[in-house]
């Protein structure tokens, strides 16, 4: 599955990666996950994957505990308070999917000053003392534009489905879309709505804006919204354009039902397994591994020839994902260190 999804991981653990794994005693250390939002399948998959790996690590005696805490609907002030409380509760490391890249910096700095390791992922923070695991979100936007430009011969009207306003992930994907569109003067962005990375919200928002739009030839998305977009077009009696999908099972199943050879598109999204990547980064830092403050994780891309294989491993209600092992994480980071 990893090869199908295009991850830069090897199937087997290399000797070099094994040698780089830190084995310091972390059996009594507690790691907390501070999550800013859980209102879609992507975030729910992140939490499920975290719980799975945390339980395995606890049973193996590698950590004391690793619970997850979620704030209400992306509230930075609540998450900042939560981080302060987790410090007071004695957590040795806090993994954060942040509501804002900057609004949590004060709490993060205070945590670092208290000797707590802070690892941010997906929604990262800018405070220098924290560690960051970021997907290349601008490239995710650019790849979609390039795919549509090739299919549409550089000419067409594009609708953009964004995520949540104010979240760094949304801003970065949007920046990638806008910057890449400048390369194709024959392509025009004719509309933009916020879909909250959720099928139902995207369907409602697109349905609301469609009457004011000209013909739409392509749709760029951020994940969790593609199937809802398709439903909105069909309900309006309009031709379904080429919609870039986002690795949710219902999107992939819909794509297959259209015939991957007939409905030519692609699917791309961040990996919800990033939570497990962040877990092992935190554990390795506690164990004494000297990891860089900035690390990257590839997005997952599904093309037509890999659709069946990915769909077979993606259960209804979930997102195509990987569960990372400690050795895979260390090996991936080690490869990033090399020139």
What's the rounded Cα separation, in Å, for the pair 249 and 198? Answer: 13
> What's the whole-number mean pLDDT along residues 274-280?
97
Q: What is the DSSP letter of 306?
A: G
Q: Is 17's pLDDT higher than 60?
A: no
> What's the whole-number mean pLDDT along residues 112-132?
97
What's the rounded Cα separation, in Å, for the pair 302 and 268? Answer: 6
Higher pLDDT, 177 or 313: 177
Q: What is the mean pLDDT of the chain?
A: 92
Confidence of residue 6 (pLDDT cuts 50, 70, 90): very low
Confidence of residue 338 (pLDDT cuts 50, 70, 90): low
> What's the whole-number mean pLDDT along residues 315-327?
92
Confidence of residue 34 (pLDDT cuts 50, 70, 90): very high
Report the predicted TM-score, pTM, of the whole model to 2 decimal places: 0.79
Q: What is the pLDDT of residue 19?
A: 56
Query: What are the structure tokens assigned to 35, written together?
Result: 């999550």
Q: Is 167's pLDDT higher than 90?
A: no
Backbone angles phi, psi at 133, to 5 degrees: -120, 105
3-state class (DSSP) for residue 19: helix
Question: Which residue is listed with tokens 């295009």?
Answer: 6
Q: What domains are defined for the chain?
A: 2-135+271-298 (3.40.50.2300), 137-269 (3.40.50.2300)
Confidence of residue 3 (pLDDT cuts 50, 70, 90): very low
How many other β-carbons are positioned within 10 Å of the β-carbon of residue 36? 25
User: Which among 129, 131, 137, 136 has a CA at the least distance from the CA of 110?
Assistant: 129
């Amino acid at each position: 599955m990893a090869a199908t999804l295009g991850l830069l991981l090897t199937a087997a653990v290399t000797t070099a990666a094994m040698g780089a794994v830190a084995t310091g005693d972390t059996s009594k250390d507690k790691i907390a996950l501070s999550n800013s939002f859980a209102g879609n399948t992507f975030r729910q998959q992140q939490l499920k994957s975290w719980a799975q790996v945390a339980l395995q690590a606890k049973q193996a005696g590698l950590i004391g505990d690793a619970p997850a805490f979620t704030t209400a609907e992306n509230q930075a002030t609540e998450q900042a308070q939560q981080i302060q409380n987790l410090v007071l509760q004695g957590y040795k490391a806090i993994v954060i999917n942040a509501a804002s890249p900057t609004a949590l910096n004060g709490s993060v700095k205070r945590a670092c000053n208290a000797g707590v390791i802070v690892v941010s992922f997906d929604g990262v923070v800018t405070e220098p003392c924290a560690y960051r695991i970021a997907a290349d979100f601008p490239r995710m936007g650019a790849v979609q534009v390039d795919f549509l430009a090739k299919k549409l011969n550089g000419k067409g009207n594009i609708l953009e489905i964004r995520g949540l306003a104010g979240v760094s992930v949304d801003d970065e994907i949007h920046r990638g879309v806008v910057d890449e569109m400048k390369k194709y003067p024959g392509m025009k962005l004719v509309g933009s709505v916020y879909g909250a990375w959720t099928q139902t919200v995207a369907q409602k928002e697109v349905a609301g804006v469609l009457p004011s739009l000209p013909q739409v030839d392509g749709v760029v998305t951020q994940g969790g919204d593609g199937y809802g977009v398709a439903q909105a077009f069909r309900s309006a009696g309009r031709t379904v354009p080429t919609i870039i999908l986002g690795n949710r099972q219902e999107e992939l199943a819909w794509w297959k039902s259209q015939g991957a050879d007939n409905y030519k598109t692609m699917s791309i999204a961040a990996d919800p397994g990033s939570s497990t990547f962040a877990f092992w980064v935190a554990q390795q830092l506690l164990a004494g591994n000297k990891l860089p403050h900035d690390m990257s994780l590839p997005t997952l891309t599904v093309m037509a020839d890999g659709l069946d294989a990915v769909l077979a491993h993606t259960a209804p209600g979930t997102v195509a994902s990987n569960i990372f092992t400690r050795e895979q994480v260390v090996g991936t980071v080690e490869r990033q260190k090399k020139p």
